[in-house]
Amino acid sequence: MAFLKRIIRLLYARAETVFDWSFGQRNSPLANLGALGWYFFWIVAGTGIYLYLFFDTGITDAYASVEYITHDQWYAAGVMRSLHRYASDALVIVVFLHILREFSLDRLRGRRFFAWLTGVPLIWFIYMCGITGYWLVWDKLAQFIAIATTEWFDTLPFFGQPIANNFLNSTTLGGRFFTLMVFMHIFAPLFMLFLMWLHIQRHAGARVNPPRPLAIGTAISLLVLSLVYPAVSQGPADLDVVPATLNLDWYYLAVYPLLDIIPGGQLWLILVVGSIFLSLLPWIPPKKSTPVAVVSLDNCNGCARCAEDCPFSAITMEPRSDGLAYNTEAVVNDSNCMSCGMCVGACPTATPFRRASAIVPGIELPDHPIAGWRERTKAASSRSGDGPRALVYACNTANATKLSEHGAQVITMPCVAMLPPAFIDFALSRDLADGVMLAGCAEGDCFYRLGDDWTNLRIAGERDPYLRKRVDRERLQLSWLPQGSTRRRQRQLADFTASLGRLPPRPPKRGSRDA
Ligand code: HEM
Ligand code: SF4
Ligand code: SF4
């Protein structure tokens, strides 16, 4: 499984390089697949409501009403029909890319299983919406789908009377089944919306809107496509005539040609077993449990910054339980905590400038004590060799060993947003390093979702705890690159170190008040 993930990751890394170059990291479609899924859903829902105003829900008049929509009112309802069709197709594409990407980035195992597990039924709902949608047009394609689907359902042992009998010929055709499809096409998207909401419940401030340039570019592309290739029907359904040739929408209807080669019952089995297997992926292989964040009440002043920065809504502020003179205290919900450490980076008590010999912040990851970072930051100054001394704080995905091969001191952590900004100030103001690099995932695409956002804001002085103004920004390098960009990162580090060498010498350090 790890090998498969690595291969897919490699392919994505190639594509991401091209997309990042064309769109910029933040606006890249590949970094916004979940948000694009929401965006396409809303386009489909909005255009669907408009189409419903002109759609006749009776089987005898449905086709004529869709023809009216397509041709008579081509400039409005016709465009809406095409947008409805193409946004639905685009939804399938982005969802499959989203699944593959989350899988390759391993954002599904351990306590992160929830989004994956709620995602699997979403796939079924997407298809339910798409297939019932094609049915409503009641053209030759709909006729084919109606017959193939009902025959396929008849392979299940649930129905007394074969439901395919409804579509034997024009005399057996009844409107009830059609009305059922209309209902399903309205209620399935509503239930899908509920599942989409559930899907992101463990994500604080989930990204459900693509960045504006991407949203506008996508809308324009869909509109152009709709005007150049308007969606049309394939002639009225006639149950007395078998359709000779059909244009299939492969995004939604790929399963139908399979029915020609695989018996219906076996195809059900494949899809159900496939879905169960997909649902089990978060536990294949099981992830070693990582220690969750622990609050030290003696050091917690109830400021709530950790709760505000936790990307997985794992911290709540509760009434004080220890009698100290603060109103609230931070409480970690172990089953939501992903051990990213961003809460540590947010905590005002997590500072290396504290005089205590053993610094214990209000919240901490037990396997990454910040007291150890202070010692390693101090040790960075004793590095032998010529040239500027670069100190790198890197997240685990940044392939840090390759950076230390290039002469930098590297301190790793789960996410670079775990680093309280005071450490940068500490390293530079105590002359422990000539420059500091923060190495993390691509912008807008942090493995733990919000690490680059919080780090950028803290450094810009727009979010607590912020980096003090006195820190010379020329001695700070932010390196946001996709996972696997080892060579690009090495080049960045080399350029940064060279730029440090060109800076004027720093004034000699005055008597240090060492911590
Ligand atoms: C309509 C379909 C879907 C939509 C609109 C959607 C949307 C989203 C959004 C908005 C996020 C949060 C992104 C963020 O803020 O970090 C997300 C995360 C995720 N989704 Fe989906 N998703 C869909 C289907 C699926 C499916 C089918 C799967 C897998 C079977 C899946 C797996 C995941 C995973 C693993 C995450 C990341 C969880 C984490 O970071 O811990 N999604 N999705
Ligand atoms: S380690 Fe990460 S997920 Fe856990 S409480 Fe802290 S910020 Fe939240
Ligand atoms: S950020 Fe630190 S001090 Fe503030 S509530 Fe959280 S643990 Fe307590």
Ligand 1 center–CA 401 separation, angstroms: 31
Secondary structure of residue 320 in the 3-state scheme: coil
List per-residue pLDDT tens for the chain, 515 residues long.
Answer: 889 999 998 898 889 888 888 888 889 999 999 999 999 999 999 999 999 999 988 888 889 999 999 999 999 999 999 999 999 999 999 999 999 999 999 999 988 999 999 999 999 999 999 999 998 998 889 989 988 998 899 888 877 777 777 777 666 666 777 888 889 999 999 999 999 999 999 999 999 999 999 999 999 999 999 999 999 998 888 877 777 777 788 899 999 999 989 999 999 999 999 999 999 999 999 998 899 999 999 999 999 999 999 999 999 999 999 988 899 999 999 999 999 999 999 999 998 987 766 788 999 999 999 988 888 888 887 765 678 889 999 998 877 777 777 678 899 999 999 999 999 999 999 989 999 999 999 888 899 999 999 999 999 999 999 999 999 999 999 999 887 788 888 999 999 999 998 888 777 665 444 43
Q: Look at residue 334 in the predicted model and tell me its pLDDT.
A: 95
HEC secondary structure over 38-83 = HHHHHHHHHHHHHHHHHCCCCCCCHHHHHHHHHHHCHHHHHHHHHH
Which of 498-502's residues contact partners 24+ apart within 8 Å by CB, and which partners? 499/474, 500/388, 500/390, 500/434, 500/435, 500/475, 501/387, 501/388
Q: How many of the other CB atoms lie within 10 Å of CB of 375?
A: 11
Contact 473, 426 (CB under 8 A): no
Using a 6 Å cutoff on CB, does residue 337 contact ligand 2?
Answer: yes
With CA atoms as reference, report the closest residue to 430 among 461, 384, 391, 478: 391
C-alpha distances (whole Å) from 466 to each of 108, 141, 395, 399 are 32, 60, 19, 27
Ligand 3 center–CA 96 separation, angstroms: 39
Pairing mode of beta strands 315-319, 328-332: antiparallel
Query: What ligand 1 atom has the least distance to the C-alpha of 312?
Result: 41
Choose the residue to mutate in 36, 44, 199 for probing ligand 1, maximizing ligand atoms within 8 Å of C-beta. 199
Choose the residue to mutate in 306, 337, 359 for probing ligand 3, maximizing ligand atoms within 8 Å of C-beta. 306
Query: What ligand 1 atom has the least distance to the C-alpha of 91?
Result: 1
Distance, in Å, from the CA atom of 483 to the CA atom of 445, rounded to the nearest integer, reads: 10
Which ligand is the nearest neighbour of the Cα of 298? 3
- Strands of the sheet with 476-480, listed across from one edge: 409-413, 390-395, 435-440, 476-480
Distance, in Å, from the CA atom of 432 to the CA atom of 460, rounded to the nearest integer, reads: 23
C-alpha distances (whole Å) from 128 to each of 192, 405, 407 are 10, 53, 56
C-alpha distances (whole Å) from 339 to each of 124, 130, 310, 315, 366 are 32, 39, 10, 12, 10
For 484, the token pair is: 């696997």
Q: Look at residue 512 in the predicted model and tell me its pLDDT.
A: 44
Distance, in Å, from the CA atom of 331 to the CA atom of 363, rounded to the nearest integer, reads: 10
Which ligand is the nearest neighbour of the Cα of 279? 1
Q: Look at residue 385 in the predicted model and tell me its pLDDT.
A: 64
Contact 336, 368 (CB under 8 A): no
Ligand 1 center–CA 442 separation, angstroms: 18
Using a 6 Å cutoff on CB, does residue 450 contact ligand 1?
Answer: no
Taking the model in full, what pTM does it have?
Answer: 0.90
> Nearest 5°: phi and psi at 470?
-65, -15
Whether the CA torsion 99, 102, 108, 113 is positive or negative: it is: negative
